[in-house]
Amino acid sequence: MTMPSPTIEPRHFRDVMGHLPTGVVVVAGRRVDTGDPAGLVVGTFQSLSLDPPLVSFSVATTSSSWPKIRPAEYFSASVLADGQNDVCRAMSSKRDDKFAAVDWNESTDGAPQISGSHAWIDCRTVRELEGGDHLVVIAEVRRLEAGGGDPLLFHRGRLGGYRELQF
Ligand SMILES: Cc1cc2nc3c(=O)[nH]c(=O)nc-3n(C[C@H](O)[C@H](O)[C@H](O)COP(=O)(O)O)c2cc1C
């Protein structure tokens, strides 16, 4: 027997799920029509499969940036480093000129990689799945490279840093 779905208040959902710390990743690509960079911050980026190498993230169906990135298929995921708070703020805004004050380089596939990041993963979208008010994007990894420093972290609506403890 299927139990009725309980009502979960959106604010409560966000509050409790905000206790799950995440990295801060900029997903960015180039518009095929203008060549302009487009991107957004996601906290849902994760590795999905080793063989074949796949990653995934979820993006709101209301995102204005993902429809600009999608047509090119290729995008780059930049894992932000400690201290890149201003990049996080700019790339999670709704501004049209998100990249105006952000340094970036072009990946081999032509996608924007944020300079000074903690790691970069160059990807090609292979599938999109519906997930409520989000889409789950599945992408193949084409190449990836680690940078230096520590990661930027997001927890309970705030940015912070990584602190190492004994395992
Ligand atoms: C730390 C952090 C994590 C976020 N994670 C996600 C995410 O996983 N998926 C998503 O769609 N938006 C996420 N957002 C919100 C988008 O970055 C923000 O709404 C962005 O500006 C999207 O706008 P646009 O696509 O209309 O440009 C996150 C924002 C922050 C600051």
pLDDT at 149 over 90: yes
Spatial contact of 27 and 75, defined as CB atoms under 8 Å apart: yes
Who contacts 63 (Cβ-Cβ below 8 Å, separation ≥6)? 40
Q: Where are the domains of the chain?
A: 23-157
42 C-beta closer than 6 A to ligand 1:
yes
In this structure, which topology does domain 23-157 adopt according to CATH?
Answer: Pnp Oxidase; Chain A (2.30.110)
Spatial contact of 76 and 122, defined as CB atoms under 8 Å apart: yes
Atom of ligand 1 nearest to the CA of 63: 25
Spatial contact of 100 and 89, defined as CB atoms under 8 Å apart: no
- Mean pLDDT of all residues in 119-146: 98
Q: What is the pLDDT of residues 153-163, one digit of tens each?
A: 999 999 999 99
Q: How far is CA 2 from the centre of its chain?
A: 35
Atom of ligand 1 nearest to the CA of 39: 27
Atom of ligand 1 nearest to the CA of 62: 26
Q: What is the pLDDT of residues 123-132, one digit of tens each?
A: 999 999 999 9
How far, in Å, CA of 69 to CA of 26, rounded?
12
Mutate to test the pocket of ligand 1, among 22, 79, 92 (most ligand atoms within 8 A of CB): 92
Q: What is the pLDDT of residues 46-85, one digit of tens each?
A: 999 999 999 999 999 999 999 999 999 999 999 999 999 9
